[in-house]
Every structure is written in structure tokens, then in C-alpha cells.
Copies of this chain bind each other. A is one copy, B any other.
Amino acid sequence: MPDSTPPTDFSPDQFRRHGHAVVEWIADYLATIDDYPVLSPVQPGDIREALPARAPEAGEPLDRILADFDQLIVPGITHWNHPSFFAYFAISGSVPGILGEMLAAALNVNGMLWKASPSATELELTTMDWLRQLMGLSDDWFGHINDTASISTLLALAAAREAANLDIRQRGMAGRADLPALRLYTSAQSHSSVEKGALTLGFGQQNVIAIETDRDFRMRADRLAAAIASDRAAGHLPVAAVATIGTTSTTSIDPLRPIAELCQREGVWLHVDGAYGGAAAILPELRERLFDGIELADSLVVNPHKWLFTPVDISALYTRHPDILKRAFSLVPEYLVTAEQDEVVNLMDYGVQLGRRFRALKLWMVMRSFGAEGLRERLRHHIALAQRFAAWVDESAAWQRMAPTPLSTVCFRAAPPSLSAEAQDALNEQIMAAVNASGEAFLSHTKLNDRFTLRLAIGNIRTEARHVARAWALLNEALERLSVGALER
């Protein structure tokens, strides 16, 4: 028979002891983060080889595990929380966000149903409503939280499919003579998650139509209109378009109003990908440039884990048609039936995932502790830093800006006039590798008009002018060192 000394968890006092040690580690980490190499210098397989091939049979002391974390795991970390992380989109695990995650892990609730933790559901609805107001959206937008923009966009596209009233939920898409090809439209600059969502949902990659962009990498509404017309003529069914507010490569901002007006006329669901750039709509001075026409859109994704200083993962999906989203996804088996289900929001009804971490808690702590003005101030600071860097590029004969800089990400490359475009490509790839290998800054790249382009993405909450200046110095040192070789070849 079980007991008398049953195996349970470590004791609260053991948590106290090791928890305080972990807090000390984190505080020291945050205080000394500048000293870590941003990009991990380890080679493929190094970490795995340092770890045992099998789980230990007997339990090990937490002290030893935490020491191993520091000695074996941390060297293989690329430090996304470093102020000189300028790759992809820079993100932040801010202090209030980390505290929020600590509490969420201790509570360990699954907010699938209102009943399963009323606070999880109601705080999620509250924080989504707070953020909605900060972005200036009207109150017909319903927001809920997902893990990632990949999922938020997938849900939005599924809602678009459901809105087409083709009985796909019940009858599916295959083996039906009554269904035409279902078409999606997005710009050639949009994020890969759009295409991934489309192929997951069974639209097929060939039915994702890449709409041409203008010279500033913004989707051309006239080309979208032409594509829709041509598809209709061919017997295809236009289902959804995705416009991006802050594309991944250049942060270009698609012209929302003409696109939204077109989509409304055509009965095409418009999803807006503002995973990164949507956050900037909390700035009144930018809102019209970003969101003019948003009231005509059908769904919008904004990721607090990108540019709102909240630890990964947390993505906000807003829609003006929560009923359609629910129609696409709600399934209530008997074991999830609750007495109050008709009077509450059960968030499991709005997506794929039944399991739901208490993600709203960290966002609530971030929004309260910085306040709306504190968030705005930080975004303005990042935008100003990026504009300064863009000016340095523009003022230098050796460098060239490759795209406008509407937000906090700068696209640029070294462009010594004596080198061919191909040689410039190679040079920039070498420059990036050299800067990243320094450990002092981490940049990533894209291709624009087929040319290798460096990106400096500012978004970490600890980034100061000196970090950006140092990146600029590193880039110039690398250019100087490498262009000699390039010119000699």
C-alpha cells in the first residue's frame, strides 16, 4: 500500500533555497549581460556531447544541476536578452515579464475553460482589451492570446476559410467536386508563417499568390486587384489576403486602406500581420501611418513577445468576427462541458490548442509596471536609435541603405563603388560573419532585389545608444579589414 512517506515534490523550503539562488543568478546575468558573447561560439554537437547520453537513474542535487546549467548550457546560448542582439527581430525578457513567468509557472494553470481558472480567462480578456485600446482599435475587436504569430495567423486563415461558407469544417476540402481552388494573397515580402499556415490548412503553396511590391517593398493594391480579378476569371475563389505592418525583411508597411477597401468589396477576408510593427500603433504619431483602414480588416496579429517587452511566447490575435473563429474551432466533448459555458468565454473555443498557459499574467505585469507611457517612450527610443543609425549609413560613402526605415530596423550594406554587386554580396556576408564572431553584436541578413542585405533590428529593452554605436564601429572595422582583401582579389 502507498505511503507513509510518499514520494512528492521537493519541499517549499528547498524551493526557497534554490529559488533565491536562481534569482541571484538571474540578477547577476542581467547585470553582466553585456559581457556575454551575443552569438554563441559553440560548434554543432558541442553541447550535446557535453551532456550524458542517458537520463540519470537516481536524482541529482539541484545545486549540481544549476551549476551545470551555468557551465554546460549557458555557453551554448545565443543571448536574445543581450542589448546588442540586433538579429531577426530583437525581443526582451523584461524584469516584470520574468517575474510574471515565475508566478505563472508556480500556479501552473491551464486556462482552457473559464472554470479551469477564471482569472486566466478574465485577465486575458482584460489585457487584450487594454492593448486594443492602446492601439486605438474600436471595441468591436475581440482579442485572445496564442503562443506565436504562426498560430495566430493560422487561426485567422482558418477563420477566413470558415467565413467562405463552404462547409469545410464538416465536409473537408478533398474529394469535393463543388470546390474551386481557394486562393490567398500576400506580398512577396510577407512572413513565411503565412505560407506555412496556408499549406497546413490545405490551401496549397501554389494557391498562395505573392503580390508584387513597390520599390519600398509595400504590397501594391492595384496588383492585388488584378490578381483577384484574374483568379475569379479562372474560376478560383479568392478567400483571404494578408497585409503586413512591418514586414520581416525591411519593416515595410503595406498600404492598408486601399487593400482593405478592395478586400471588403471583393468579400475577401483581410488578415493584418502586425506581429512586430503592430506594437508601434500604441504611438499616436505613427498610428495613422500604420493602421489607416484597419477598421475594415477582419483580423490582426500583434506579438507582445516581440516589441512589447514580454518574454516569449505570447501572441495576440484580434478579430472583428469572433463568432466565425469560434465556428471554425469550437468542439466541446462531454468531459469539457461546464454548467456556466453559455455565460462565459471558454478560450479553448477559439483555436487549435486545448492547453493554455497563463500568458496574460506576464503581459499584465509588463503593462502595469511600465505603464502605457513607459511603453511608448521605449518604442520611441528604439525608433530614434534606428533613425540615427540610418543617418550614419546615409552619410557614409562606403555604405548604402537598402530600404526605408519606418520603424526600428535598418536594412543596409557595404557598397564600395569599386566592387561589383556580386563582390559586394560576398563582402557583406563576410562582414556579418566577422561582426557576429566578435561576440559584441549579432546581426542577421535578408536579400532585397536579390542583393545580400544586412539588418540591424533594434528592440531589446536594454539597448542603449552605445550598443548601436559599437555595432556601427564593428561594422566599419570589419569593412575596412575585409574590403582590402576584396579589392585585392
Q: Is the Cβ of A174 less than 8 Å from the Cβ of B173?
A: yes
CB of A278 closer than 8 Å to a CB of B: no
Give the interface residue-count category, chain A. Answer: 35 or more
Asked if A417 is an interface residue, CB under 8 A from chain B, the answer is no
* Nearest CB on B from A148, distance (A): 4
Which residues of A in the span 146-194 have a Cβ within 8 Å of any Cβ on B? 147-151, 154, 158, 161, 168-177, 179-182, 191-193
Q: How far is the CA of A345 from the CA of B168 in the complex (A)?
A: 35
Q: Are A343 and B44 in contact (CB under 8 A)?
A: yes
Chain B neighbourhood of A315, CB < 8 A: 355
Whether A12 contacts B27 by the Cβ 8 Å rule is yes
- A372 to B52 Cα, complex, angstroms: 13
Interface residues in A287-324 (C-beta closer than 8 Å to B): 305, 309, 311-313, 315
Q: Say yes or no for A384: interface residue by CB 8 A criterion.
A: yes
Tell me, yes or no, whether A420 is within 8 Å of chain B by CB. no
Q: A98-B15, A105-B97, A202-B168 are in contact. Are A57 and B88 (CB under 8 A)?
A: no
| 29 A–B pairs (Cβ distance < 8 Å), ordered by A | A2-B381, A7-B374, A22-B99, A39-B115, A40-B117, A40-B119, A42-B119, A44-B114, A47-B119, A47-B123, A51-B122, A55-B131, A56-B368, A59-B370, A60-B369, A65-B364, A93-B108, A147-B355, A149-B354, A151-B353, A168-B204, A169-B204, A171-B204, A174-B174, A174-B203, A175-B180, A176-B181, A200-B201, A335-B445
Q: Given contacts A75-B119, A177-B177, A305-B355, could you give 17 more A-B pairs where the C-beta distance is less than 8 Å?
A: A2-B388, A7-B374, A10-B369, A26-B103, A59-B374, A65-B368, A73-B123, A92-B108, A93-B106, A149-B354, A151-B353, A168-B204, A175-B179, A192-B333, A201-B201, A202-B202, A335-B445
